[in-house]
Structure 1
Amino acid sequence: SPPPLQFCRGVKDSKRRGFINVALRSVETTLHQLLADVPSWGAEFRNLAQALGAILATDVYAQIDVPPADNSAMDGYALRIDDLVGDRPLPISQRIPAGATGGALQAGTAARIFTGASIPPGADTVIAQEDCELIGELLQVNVTPRTGQHIRPRGQDITRGQLILAKGHRLVAADLGLLASLGIASVQVARRIRVALMSTGDELREPGQALADGQIYNSNRPMLAALIESLGAEVIDIGIVADTPEATRDALKRAAASAEVVISSGGVSVGEEDHVKAEVEALGSLNLWKLAIKPGKPLAYGRVLEVPFFGLPGNPVSGFVTFCLLVRPYLLKMQGATKLLPPQWPARAQFEWPRAGTRQEYLRARVVPGDEGMEVEIHPQQSSGALSSVSWCNALAIIPIGKTLRRGDRVDVIFLQDIS
């Protein structure tokens, strides 16, 4: 089992200002410990119209065959291949539209049939209508058919008793169609998590309001709210919290009382106006603080009145990266998901990275196809406050601690379409 979560400080270095970063907890260790600390969550039944993005709480098995009977894959004529003798035409004995069931095929005849219609007993072949012609009331076949052509057999797609979707699978649009094809109207999924979202900072104003000197717009709230909602969770908006201990404590209490997870944006660094860390400790526990990650070092994790708490950095890029890499898998596991982490793909670097860092770096990058596979370039502005770099990029390029890159080297990337 993983070691317990610990309060993690840097180590003072007399030759450098502040703390050196080598003592900070790694991203991989932090994620391992966070996922070991996820509380269990309940389940509910939800109809398909409300199930997109939900995570299955049970395995789903087919109760019927799909298709439920042999049916025609073409508009044309159903017949018995042994009845095709020489060029002798066949009379049409019946007409079978989709949704209707024909009678047994009379020997030496053909049935007019349409796409999706059930194959009549006795028929073993369908001739596409463009491969034959009617001469009066007789069918003339102009091709040499093979037995079983253009027939979709019963159970071709799904057989009764087959495992269709496994517990922990996150439902996408195609899954809803698959479930509907089995006659399933509702599924048991993880209950919707309520996530309280609070923003700290006297400098913040909401979009649409006028800015005074020294103020900025709150970009974190809509970004984080969208990321939370993309996981099927409900956002409880606590709003902008004033930079005072009293306001911070009151907001944390309200957040913990209204949600299953609390997320704060800003206020977890070491400034005199950063009150979140101290108030979390006063109301519960702070189990983790500061990681060897760039951007996003001042990430906090703990409990507020027994409710899981994440304190994300206030810089928008840092908040985005730490949410995607650490908070997102936590929320997914809380809902019982089995796929928690996005895949990492190799790409060829089209940039130089000569500075070996003491924190694992996630560069805003853009992956494009090249002559020898995927190539990746990075945004020229890698500041943790440059949200335009996140809007521009389609991936994060991972630079491990102590590594440098030359143009043409392999670098692992995470596609943002897999996480945001």
Structure 2
Amino acid sequence: MKLLPVDEARARMLAEIAALPVEPVPLAASIGRVLAEEVAAVRDQPPFAASAMDGWAVRSADGEGLRAIVGESAAGHGYEGEVTAGQAVRIFTGAALPAGCDAVVIQEDASREGEQVRVPQAAAGRHVRPAGGDFRKGQVLLQPGVRIDPWRLSLAASAGRAQVKVRRRPRVALISTGEEIVEAPANPGPFQIYDSGAPALAAMVAGWGAEVTRAKPVRDQLEAVIEALRTAEADLVVTVGGASVGDHDLVRTAGEALGLDYRVQSVAVRPGKPTFFGVLGDGRRMLGLPGNPASAFVCAEMFLRPIVNAYQGAEPQPATVPATLDEDLPANGPREHWMRAKLTYEAGEVRIRPYRDQDSSLVSVFAVSDALLRRAPGAPAVAAGEVVEALPLSRA
């Protein structure tokens, strides 16, 4: 089987993924969804010049001195008259600036004397939020392809939106295979282990915006694996384990029995070489991940996350950042290596230190990692202090 470079393998996978249909959802239910339309403002924000402080609305041209108090402007209840020479209006934060006024004197700088207030000279525009200072009517605030988070939801709400159009959530079916796998709280046999890969992958995929279903672990019996694949109702079927070519690795054979047409048969990556991808006879996409948890998690970041994003119309490419290496690294082998690592931030600089033990079975190392360090195939040795490429991991 030809080992494809990581970038080529990802490109071949993404070529088979089309963005899913659009559906409207209430804004309050849009968290985590990916926009499929522009969100534009229906009016200026704020729609009027507003006070940024509690104090007194005045005319800067009047200079300092006593002003007659002619009214009050509060949030939601503005002063409807026009302020003329020698007058002032009590005003509160967020309230509309009365007509005729162009400045606000904060209450600490003024002193009330009965029905008058003594104010210092105020510069025009002082403590005033101009109309449209945040955004203008018709201005596009959010673009298609962005994922709604609480801050973007707030912006859409400020723009006057009660619902938005988003892409349908992709349906992802997770199937773990292997005689050695049992689910807690079942008691494992002497040669069995708990399934730690599928539960974590399910959480990852749900966090990326997909609807996830998990089948119970499937034993190493060809008919059982075929049946699990055949009955998985999903846009994308993801298998964990059995992706290699050993006597007990039946996932490929089961997929082929259902018409699997490979686009990627294996990847020149460490860990995760057995990863494969193809299209089943009925059109469902299938991604085969290795059984070792760390291998599965690395390849989920490399391939599964981009696929899930592409289904939703989001940017599929992993976003790496430069980071300064904290220790020397030897030359890399022939496969691209994604090393589990720790990021630190010192004086505005991103620094990275890979963990010494990169064994693909170690979940404990992944649990304390917050980045993957990328090493190109055949990369020469690098010294501490040099800049390398890092993929931050979401630990929310």
1:328 partnered with 2:344: no
Aligned to 1:5: none
Given that 2:292 and 2:360 are in contact with CA atoms closer than 8 Å, whether structure 1 keeps it comes out as yes
The amino acid across from 1:104 in the alignment is G
Between the aligned partners of 2:336 and 2:89, the Cα distance in structure 1 is: 69
1:351: Cα distance to partner?
Answer: 2.6
1:260 match: 235
The answer on 1:93 being equivalent to 2:70 is: yes
C-alpha distance in structure 2 between counterparts of 1:106 and 1:268, whole Å: 78
| 1:370 shift after superposition | 4.2
Deviations along 1:162-201, one digit per CA (max 9) or x if unpaired, are 1111111111210000011122111000011111111111
Of 40, 56, 59, which aligns to 2:35?
56
1:154-193 aligned at under 5 Å gives the runs: 154-193=131-170
- How far, CA to CA, are the matches of 1:132 and 1:372 in structure 2? 42
Question: 2: distance between equivalents of 1:410 and 1:166?
Answer: 33
Output aligned runs, 1:56-75, within 5 Å.
56-75=35-54
Opposite residue 138 of structure 1, the aligned amino acid is Q
Q: How many pairs were matched up?
A: 392
CA distance in 2, matches of 1:98, 1:346: 47
Counterpart of 1:417 in 2: which secondary structure?
A: coil
* Structural mapping, 1:14-413, within 5 Å: 24-84=3-63, 86-87=64-65, 89-107=66-84, 108-141=86-119, 143-255=120-232, 258-287=233-262, 288-304=264-280, 305-337=282-314, 339-370=315-346, 373-403=349-379, 404-413=381-390
Whether the aligned pair in 1 keeps the contact of 2:40 and 2:159 (CA below 8 Å) is no
| Shift of residue 25, structure 1, vs aligned partner | 0.6
Distance between the aligned counterparts of 1:51 and 1:349, measured in 2? 39
Q: How far off is 1:109 after superposition?
A: 1.1
Q: Distance in 2 between matches of 1:40 and 1:176?
A: 22
How far off is 1:327 after superposition?
A: 1.4
Query: What are the superposed Cα offsets for residues 255-302 of structure 1, whole Å, 9 maximum, x if unpaired?
Result: 1xx111111111111121111101111102241211100000000101
TM-score (norm 1): 0.90
Cα offsets for 1:191-241 (capped at 9, x unmatched): 111111111112111122212201101101111011110111111122211
Equivalent position amino acid for 2:238 in 1: I
* Aligned-partner Cα distance in 1 for 2:307–2:369: 24
How far 1:345 sits from its partner (Å)? 2.0
Q: Distance in 2 between matches of 1:58 and 1:320?
A: 32
> Does the 8 Å CA contact 2:55/2:91 hold for their aligned counterparts?
yes
In 1, Cα distance between equivalents of 2:330 and 2:228: 44
User: Any idea what SS the aligned residue of 2:319 has?
Assistant: coil
Gaps of 5+ in 2: none
Contact 1:57-1:336 within 8 A present in 2 as well = yes
| CA deviation vs aligned residue, 1:99-133 (integer Å, no higher than 9, x gap) | 11212234221111111111111111111111111
Deviation at 1:371, TM superposition (A): 6.4
Change (3 A) 1:124 1:242: same
Q: CA deviation at 1:402?
A: 0.6
Q: Distance in 2 between matches of 1:394 and 1:106?
A: 59
2-side partners of 1:231 and 1:64: how far apart? Answer: 33
Equivalent position amino acid for 1:284 in 2: G
- 2:72–2:78: 8 Å Cα contact kept in structure 1? no
> Runs in 1 of length 4+ with deviation above 6 angstroms?
none
Q: TM-score, normalised by structure 2?
A: 0.95
